[in-house]
Amino acid sequence: MKWLYLLAGIALYVKALAMPNPAPDLSDISIAEIVVRDSGVPNAVSGIIFRNRLYDTIYEVVVFTIAIMGANFLLANEKPIGKIEQFTDQPSIVLARLGATISALVGIELAIRGHLSPGGGFAAGVAGGTAIGLVAITSSSESMQAIYQRWKAATWEKISVLLFIVLSVVTLAGGELPHGELGALVSGGATPLLNILVAIKVALGSWAVVLIFIRYRGLLGESKVSLSFSRSFLLLLTRFDENCLVDKSSRGLGGDGGG
């Protein structure tokens, strides 16, 4: 898999060097209108990310993949946490599950309609990863790991990366799908597919990172330390305010007596 990523990066770099870079006169033309017209999607940002700046988007996906591999590699030799604590009170569990449901629905909507309205694959993937994280803090880590392996999430993550790279290379080489009707759900050529592939990649990659850090770093241990520090800090501020009030009162009384 590493060699495939390396070869894909070299091929894209060579392609970038070989492509011409014309500079047309755009003084009387709106850039956003040109992007919408050329990409076939109303969301000009998605048109730029998955067409004009597709090279940069490919490298962002590759960098995210390398970051996940690096986290897994660096923590592989460490000893897993023996006991992982999760939230056990029912209000927190209900709120976390509700937030996860809303976040997952928002992620699906952003992935499907990201080329029509603000959003896109990266935002959809982050929403999906947030949903997974909210479920993880209220569920057993063993069950989350079992679901991850049962659904072969790692395999689907790699497949989404490879499909994204292949489809991007085809697009950069000049191959395009029909744009369809502007504003329709199925329109914009390959842009909706690239959006969905990026969303799958980011969501599944976030799932992998969440499981890795929960396994080797725990979940609530650092939160308890931060909570204790926050309580101590708030107590210190409260005492400081009380001392300031006492000092102001004494000064006020002294001033009245002197008058």
The structural domains of the chain, with segments of one domain joined by +, span 2-19+29-219, 220-259
Using the predicted structure, report yes or no on whether residue 3 has a pLDDT greater than 60: yes
pLDDT at residue 21, as a whole number: 65
Write down the mean pLDDT value for the chain.
81
pLDDT at residue 170, as a whole number: 92
pLDDT at residue 228, as a whole number: 44
Residue 189: burial class (beta carbons within 10 Å; 0-12, 13-18, 19+): buried
Q: Are 136 and 214 in contact (CB under 8 A)?
A: yes
Structure tokens given for 216: 């080797």
pLDDT at residue 147, as a whole number: 94
- Least confident interval from 62-66, 118-122, 123-127: 118-122
Which amino acid makes up residue 201?
K
Using the predicted structure, report yes or no on whether residue 86 has a pLDDT greater than 80: no
Mean pLDDT of the region 98-108: 94
25: confidence class by pLDDT, cuts 50, 70, 90: low
Q: Which of 88, 82, 68, 93 is nearest to 214 (CA)?
A: 82
Mean pLDDT of the region 164-168: 94
Is the pTM here over 0.85, yes or no? no
Using the predicted structure, report yes or no on whether residue 26 has a pLDDT greater than 80: no
pLDDT at residue 222, as a whole number: 46
pLDDT at residue 138, as a whole number: 87
Q: 């660096």: which residue's tokens?
A: 74
- DSSP E strands: which ranges in the chain? none
Give the integer Cα–Cα distance in Å for 84 and 219: 6
CA 228 to chain centre: 29
Give the integer Cα–Cα distance in Å for 171 and 160: 16
Q: 177-234, pLDDT tens digit by residue?
A: 888 888 888 888 899 999 999 999 999 999 999 999 888 888 765 444 434 444 444 4
Give the integer Cα–Cα distance in Å for 241 and 249: 12
pLDDT at residue 246, as a whole number: 43
Show the CA angle centred on residue 138, arms to residues 135 and 142, nearest 5°: 85
Residue 49 DSSP label = I
Using the predicted structure, report yes or no on whether residue 247 has a pLDDT greater than 80: no
